[in-house]
A and B are shown apart, each in its own frame.
Chain A
Amino acid sequence: MLLIVQIVLVLAVILVSFVLMRGGANARHLAIRRIMLMIFAVAAVASIFFPHVLTSLASFLGVGRGTDLVLYATIVSFFVFMATTYQRFRHAENALTALSRRIALDEAPKPWADDRR
């Protein structure tokens, strides 16, 4: 039973990370990321006041202590953060490339214009 829960958990983590990594900057993915962040924040606050709740949730999911659960959630959110930052970086780089190319081409001499003279 425990093994099955763990496998399902791992699959869910991989799936969610993948969806969030592949999805670009569209509104739906942004909303999902914000919901996840909110759940994470609520859980963090809750764990301060009711530490045993998190622990019992963790033992229900089969991952040991509540702190372990928080650790796993942190790892996942870190990966998601890394992936989205990478994508944002790629977008910025593409924009910078287009801009630089425009400048380069505009400044370049165009020798074929001489043909018409």
Chain B
Amino acid sequence: MNRTWVVIPMYNEATVVGSVIQSLRTVFPQVVCVDDGSSDGSQDIARTAGAVVVQHPINLGQGAALQTGIEFALQDPGMRNVVTFDADGQHRIVDAAAMVARLDAGEADIVLGSRFLDDRTQIGPMKRLVLKTAAVQSRMATGLDLTDAHNGLRAMNREVASKLHLTQNRMAHASELVHQIAEMKLRWVEHPVEIIYTDYSKSKGQSLLNSVNILAELFFR
């Protein structure tokens, strides 16, 4: 057995999550959706689409959902890799498959998606500036030379999955993850990925103001 689990944190994504899971399962049969207390019936849609649904009894935040999904995957003795994937369909499955292939080739312990390594991703100047600033901040804080610190597409092997402990329940988990990679001195590599900004993902995505929250959560731990 040699399984890759795809972990999808989900909160009120009923309109898109079904098709995201269906297309994911053509490549990755094991998909776990961590439902963070959705009220729009996302759970049933995810289950019908063939995902395992792990349900938080209350809303805890995306970071908590990721950690729950990773711990779920760790319970499977045949699990070898974990991929984290956003529910809103902004990631591409071919990118995820290529990242897992790099893990299997033994190139790294964790492969991080970056939208800035090639010019496929169409991105607005303000958002680019915010993300670039976040990347510079995380480089200064951790010494990791990342080009994109807030990308939801990542692939890690079992060892890394068992060592990660995300305690930042809300959005600051992305920076926390980078900190833990730096502390554990993991072999990491960035992989160019395309982010598909649809109107839906834009409306669900983080507003620029949210970066204030991310900073505050990081400083007042």
**Residues of A near any B CB (own CB < 8 A):** 86, 90, 93-94, 96-97, 100-101, 103-105, 107-112, 115
Cα–Cα distance between A46 and B54 once the two chains are bound (Å): 60
Docked-complex contact B60 and A100, CB < 8 angstroms: yes
Cα–Cα distance between A112 and B72 once the two chains are bound (Å): 11
From the candidates A100, A105, A111, name the one contacting B71 in the complex (CB within 8 A): A105
30 residue pairs from A and B, CB less than 8 Å apart:
A90-B221, A93-B169, A94-B167, A96-B58, A96-B60, A97-B60, A100-B56, A100-B58, A100-B64, A101-B56, A101-B64, A101-B71, A103-B57, A104-B34, A104-B54, A104-B55, A104-B56, A104-B57, A104-B68, A105-B71, A105-B72, A108-B52, A108-B53, A108-B55, A108-B72, A110-B75, A112-B3, A112-B75, A112-B78, A115-B1
**Residues of B near any A CB (own CB < 8 A):** 1, 3, 30, 32, 34, 52-58, 60, 64, 67-68, 71-72, 75-78, 167, 169, 220-221
- Chain A residue at smallest Cβ distance from B74: A105
Cα–Cα distance between A110 and B3 once the two chains are bound (Å): 14
The 5 closest A-B pairs by CB, nearest first: A108-B54, A112-B76, A101-B68, A104-B54, A104-B56
Cα–Cα distance between A93 and B169 once the two chains are bound (Å): 9
Chain A residues with Cβ below 8 Å from B57 are 100, 103-104
Cα–Cα distance between A103 and B35 once the two chains are bound (Å): 13
Cα–Cα distance between A108 and B74 once the two chains are bound (Å): 13
- Chain A residue at smallest Cβ distance from B61: A97
Chain A residues with Cβ below 8 Å from B32 are 108
Cα–Cα distance between A108 and B55 once the two chains are bound (Å): 7
From the candidates B78, B169, B221, name the one contacting A97 in the complex (CB within 8 A): B169
Do A97 and B72 contact each other (CB < 8 Å), given the known contacts A107-B55, A108-B53, A115-B78? no
CB distance from B3 to the nearest CB of A (A): 8
Cα–Cα distance between A108 and B56 once the two chains are bound (Å): 10
Cα–Cα distance between A115 and B34 once the two chains are bound (Å): 23
Cα–Cα distance between A101 and B68 once the two chains are bound (Å): 6
